[in-house]
Amino acid sequence: MDTAPAWKRDNRPPRVLIVDDDFEIIEAVRYALEEQGYEVLVARDGNQGLAMAEQVQPDLMLLDMMMPKRSGFLVLESLHRASLPPMRIIMMTANEGERHKAYAEMLGVDDYLRKPLAIDRLMASVRHWLEEPFTDTQAS
């Protein structure tokens, strides 16, 4: 079984979906990702983010916790139940609560970054998780 990430097997740039309602964060993150050659897609609320994840099947999702229409947690819960190919998920939040972090990790986030984001830290996490192969337990 080939454990290489899908974007490598398909010989394409990694596809990253930003799901956030903050214009400034979207633009800063989009710029940083595009500078590194990533294909970037944007959803501005949780419902749109979930729909795009199902349609586009990104390699990695950058997910805000607090958004209109559907919170990041509700998006995670829906993704957890969906039978989609595995994707990496980095949650971005201004929330300081450890309970929220623990719940996000239980729902399968790969990293949990607090806002305000340090772009270099975010990019290091993106690079790491896009290269990390899924284990059998993660892929199911």
CATH of the domain at 110: 3.40.50.2300
Q: What is the pLDDT of residue 135?
A: 66
In a domain, 31, yes or no: yes
Q: What is the pLDDT of residue 122?
A: 97
In a domain, 66, yes or no: yes
Distance CA 49, CA 79 (A): 10
| Helix-helix angle 23-35:119-131, to 10 degrees | 60
In a domain, 83, yes or no: yes
DSSP letter at 66 equals S
Domain span including residue 106: 16-131
Which residues of the chain fall below pLDDT 50?
Answer: 137-140
pLDDT in tens, 51-60: 999 999 999 9
Q: Report how many domains make up the chain.
A: 1
Which tokens in the block code for residue 80? 């957890």
Q: What is the pLDDT of residue 82?
A: 81
Q: What is the pLDDT of residue 119?
A: 95
The H or E element spanning position 91 is strand 88-93
Q: Angle 127-112-40 (CA atoms, 0-180°, nearest 5)?
A: 45
Q: What is the pLDDT of residue 1?
A: 53
- Whole-structure pTM over 0.75, yes or no? yes
In a domain, 124, yes or no: yes
Report the Cα 120 to chain-centroid distance in Å. 16
In a domain, 3, yes or no: no
In a domain, 9, yes or no: no
pLDDT in tens, 61-73: 999 999 888 899 9
In a domain, 46, yes or no: yes
SS3 state at 4: coil
Q: Which residues contact 17 (CB under 8 A, 6 or more apart)?
A: 41, 42, 43, 49, 52, 53, 56, 58, 60, 61, 62
Q: What is the pLDDT of residue 34?
A: 97
- How many CB atoms are located within 10 Å of the residue 74 CB? 14
* Closest to 89 measured CA to CA, from 98, 79, 99: 79
In a domain, 5, yes or no: no
Q: Angle 20-21-27 (CA atoms, 0-180°, nearest 5)?
A: 75
